[in-house]
Amino acid sequence: MDKIFKQDTKFLTNGKKPEETCALSDLPKEGVIGLYFSAHWCPPCRGFTPKLAESYKSIRAAGKALEIVFVSSDKDDKAFLEYFAEQPWLALPFAERDLKAKLSKKYKVSGIPSLVLLDAATGKVITKDGRSALSSDTEGKKFPWTPPTLAEALGDVLLKPDGTEVKREAALKDKYVGLYFSAHWCPPCKGFTPKLAETYKK
């Protein structure tokens, strides 16, 4: 986490008592850390935050190492503290505007609410769509929400053009793989597919 936050970064632990803080070293060394980009003025955020809070409490109660840091897009410190008072996790101080901007840029946050899940041990991104991950798994059964590998996503069986099945492992062994997202109802797709097919055959 020291590559993401400054060594002397302090995190607020209670919106009603902004003098209460914890240090970077107090963040968990394993499990998942979520960066929650949100703001009180944002209606979707106000709808999602209570649901996220319930999931956060139940997942932690189950003994799983999850921590969340609120990264505010509120308009001022007063609004930030009022909103943070409703949240059960940590928060980056509102005064850390430069760090907030760097985090938004680093993780390409273009809208809120946004929940970026990080591996606490390495700081690497698990998923930038933590909102969907936790919305579909409120009890944390799929914790730490690591995305499936290509093999897991494709499954064990693929279809050939004639409709027959072939084992994925044998079909893709020692090959470069391209995923072609297309549809028959899409005019640009119908124009491009024959060209792609000719190139594929070569």
pLDDT attached to residue 113: 97
Q: Determine the 3-state secondary structure of 43 from DSSP.
A: helix
pLDDT attached to residue 170: 87
pLDDT attached to residue 7: 86
pLDDT attached to residue 202: 84
pLDDT attached to residue 14: 87
- Distance in angstroms (rounded) separating the CA atoms of residues 80 and 94: 7
pLDDT attached to residue 6: 83
pLDDT attached to residue 26: 93
Segments of the chain scoring below 70 in pLDDT? none
Strand blocks (E) in 103-156 = 114-119, 125-127
* pLDDT tens by residue, 110-121: 999 999 999 999
| Best CA proximity match to 28, nearest among 131, 107, 123 | 123
Q: Which helix (H) or strand (E) holds 78?
A: helix 77-84
CB within 8 Å of 166: residues ≥ 6 apart: 157, 158, 159, 160
Q: Which two tokens stand for residue 55?
A: 């999931």
User: Over the range 97-131, which residues count as b (16 or more CB within 10 Å of their CB) and which as e?
Assistant: eebbeebbeebebeebbbbbbbebeeeeebbbebb
